[in-house]
């Protein structure tokens, strides 16, 4: 395991070695050095090309070779403090460095230089750095991109080179594998190849359009969540996608999220309306629609209605960040003495569903930022109570968790599930929140056992969160090879010649009668091409039918045979049709993550 502090030094030093190599290759007069920090994944270097200099990924081998020469020279990296006059003299040729100097001076910070070798490279930098270039053991340049100076479109576009460095070649190779695997699993790439979803400029950025296969996936996931929670007495509601601004003003969302909400204009009213960015305010109004008694509680409302948020164009990312989405939302209105039981039920359902999808996870206890109490509404003492309560719930359920200061919602702390995918990346999915403040703001009431008006507690709960984002995670987690129960197409029948088409269609009819999602590939292509195409589509099973499988039978009966191959290339050989049906139906019923063994 790398030492994080040492890794930062190595990566920062590697970025300086990159600059030094470029000076050797191109000359100091061919570019202005701008900036180049170390990052969590590596480093980058921004520069302004001068004259006719153009650097592309094709240039990486020669740049890396020159970098390796600098590393092999084991040059010392010297730290030096200088005054403003001396620094301005050194960097008089570079407008970016002189701007940095003015910024450093205004902040009252020290001016620090780092020098490689015998003054071969002098750069303005706060560090930290390795003691010498020889400490760099493994590095790689990754890509070239454009980047605005200070990230502002008002400034000049610079060239940015991304790279990474590690303390060993083994760690570097593992990281490069992860990059390659991430690209292979990219849901945007697979979504197109598997025909799951698309985007249209005419519809608008961030508004996904689901194909029949993608819509099936989305619906199947939602139906599974809904059937699971329906067994626990949860009831589904449906709320409009537009609401008056006043609703969000009362809930507190207006002040917090107005800039990311879509405003709706009415031709017949001067009132302000918005597309709803969340469901909880509307659910309070269903609760408030009639008198409630303690005997009525808990009330559990689930909602899959669409939500809308006006995300910035640069932040949109396939299904990971969209403008139109839904949530497997649930809001539970209950008495205080019912909270523990309701949260336990929710946590149990979450575990069941995460286990079904094969996702490992841990919990984050998302609490207030103690240095910015102004971000949160409500009584701080109430916050103290709920945060302590959440810890007790975690311990009672024997849940491993870590603290997340500053990650709370503005109205309540959260118990957030952080799921880990096949590449080890964490995603926040499920959440459970104990909320005293929304019922207070909307003046919600129930009549208690003594006939007194009492505020209910509102629990916010989601299991998969946004189905859009969850589909992104599943696509990348499974690399498009979904479990059989979730696969839009579960089997493809492949007759070897036209002579087997009649028998193949009988097999097709029999499987469809049993609810199997199956198609027949009757194209005049060779068998191997059909198998390859089915594997590219990630279809779990290919049912090959040739003269041997048909035999002397003219129709499909209990002893009829098929030759079964799996998408992973495994040949299961000849199987009785009924035997195959029994095996695949068991996989579907149990929601197995594995193929037939």
Query: Any idea which residues carry the catalytic annotation?
Result: 280, 309, 327, 329, 331, 414, 460
Omega cis (within 30) before 151: no
d(CA 64, CA 337): 65
DSSP 231: T
Q: Cα torsion at 447, 448, 454, 457 (round to 10°)?
A: -110
DSSP 560: -
> Which among 364, 345, 339 is positioned nearest to 418, based on CA atoms?
364
Q: What is the β-pairing status of strands 111-116 and 121-124? A: antiparallel
CA distances from residue 224 to 344, 463, 469 in whole angstroms, order as listed: 20, 11, 16
195-202 — which CB contacts under 8 Å span 24+ positions? 196/471, 196/475, 197/319
- The distance between the two most distant Cα atoms of the chain, rounded to a whole number of Å, is 97
Partner residues linked to 519 by β-bridges: 492
d(CA 155, CA 147): 10
Query: Is 477 assigned a ligand-binding role in the annotation?
Result: no
405 φ, ψ (degrees, to nearest 5): -60, 135
Query: Is 460 assigned a ligand-binding role in the annotation?
Result: yes
Query: Is 253 assigned a ligand-binding role in the annotation?
Result: no
Q: Is 385 helix (H, G, I), strand (E, B) or coil?
A: helix
CB 138 within 8 A of CB 23: no
What DSSP assignment string belongs to 29-44?
A: GGEEEEE--B-SS-EE
Rg of the chain in Å (alpha carbons): 30
Q: Name the binding residues for Zn(2+).
A: 280, 331, 460
Q: Name the binding residues.
A: 280, 331, 460
């Amino acid at each position: 395991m790398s030492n994080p502090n040492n890794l930062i030094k190595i990566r920062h030093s590697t970025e300086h070695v990159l600059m030094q190599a470029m000076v050797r290759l191109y000359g100091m007069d061919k570019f202005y050095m701008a900036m180049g920090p170390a990052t969590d994944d590596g480093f980058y270097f921004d520069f302004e090309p001068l004259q006719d200099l153009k650097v592309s990924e094709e240039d990486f081998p020669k740049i890396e070779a020159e970098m390796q020469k600098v590393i092999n020279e084991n040059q010392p990296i010297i730290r030096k403090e200088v005054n403003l006059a001396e620094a301005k003299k050194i960097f008089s040729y570079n407008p970016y460095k002189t701007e940095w100097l003015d910024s450093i001076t205004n902040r009252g910070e020290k001016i620090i230089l780092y020098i490689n070798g015998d003054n071969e490279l002098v750069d303005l930098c706060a560090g930290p750095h390795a003691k010498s270039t020889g400490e760099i053991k493994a590095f790689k340049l990754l890509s070239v991109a454009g980047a605005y100076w200070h990230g502002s479109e008002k400034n000049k576009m610079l060239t940015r080179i991304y790279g990474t460095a590690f303390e060993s070649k083994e760690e570097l190779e593992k990281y490069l594998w992860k990059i390659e695997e991430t690209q292979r699993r990219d849901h945007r790439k697979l979504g197109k190849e598997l025909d799951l979803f698309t985007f249209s400029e005419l519809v608008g950025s961030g508004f996904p359009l689901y194909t029949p296969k993608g819509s099936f996936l989305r619906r199947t996931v939602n139906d599974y969540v809904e059937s699971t929670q329906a067994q626990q007495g949860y009831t589904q509601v449906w709320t409009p996608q537009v609401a008056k601004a006043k609703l969000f003003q009362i809930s507190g969302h207006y002040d917090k999220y107005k800039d990311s909400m879509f405003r709706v204009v009415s031709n017949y009213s001067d009132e302000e309306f918005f597309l709803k960015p969340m469901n909880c305010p509307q659910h309070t109004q269903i609760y408030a629609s009639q008198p409630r008694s303690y005997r009525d509680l808990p009330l559990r409302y689930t909602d899959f209605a669409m939500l809308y948020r006006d995300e910035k164009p640069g932040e949109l990312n396939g299904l990971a960040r969209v403008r139109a989405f839904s949530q497997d939302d649930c809001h539970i209105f209950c008495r205080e003495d019912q909270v523990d039981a309701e949260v336990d039920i929710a946590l149990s359902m979450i575990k069941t569903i995460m286990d079904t999808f094969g996702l490992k996870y841990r919990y984050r206890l998302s609490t207030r930022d103690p240095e910015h109490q102004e971000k949160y509404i409500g009584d701080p003492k109430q916050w103290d109570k709920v945060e302590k309560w959440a810890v007790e719930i975690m311990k009672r359920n024997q849940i491993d968790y870590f603290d997340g200061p500053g990650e709370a919602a503005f109205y309540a702390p959260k118990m957030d599930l952080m799921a880990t995918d096949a590449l080890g990346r964490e995603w926040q999915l499920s959440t459970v929140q104990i909320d005293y403040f929304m019922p207070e703001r909307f003046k919600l009431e129930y009549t208690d056992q003594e006939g007194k008006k009492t505020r209910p507690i509102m629990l916010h709960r989601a299991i998969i969160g946004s189905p859009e984002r969850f589909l992104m995670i599943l696509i990348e987690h499974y690399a498009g090879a979904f479990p059989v129960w979730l696969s839009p197409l579960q089997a493809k029948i492949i007759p070897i010649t036209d002579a087997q088409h009649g028998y193949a269609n009988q097999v097709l009819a029999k499987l469809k009668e049993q609810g199997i999602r199956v198609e027949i590939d009757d194209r005049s292509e060779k068998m191997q091409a059909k198998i390859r195409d089915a594997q590219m589509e990630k279809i779990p099973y290919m049912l090959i039918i040739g003269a041997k499988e048909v035999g002397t039978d003219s129709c499909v009966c209990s002893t009829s045979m098929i030759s079964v191959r799996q998408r992973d290339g495994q040949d299961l050989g000849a199987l009785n049709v009924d035997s195959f049906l029994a095996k695949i139906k068991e996989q579907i019923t149990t929601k197995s993550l594995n193929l037939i063994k």
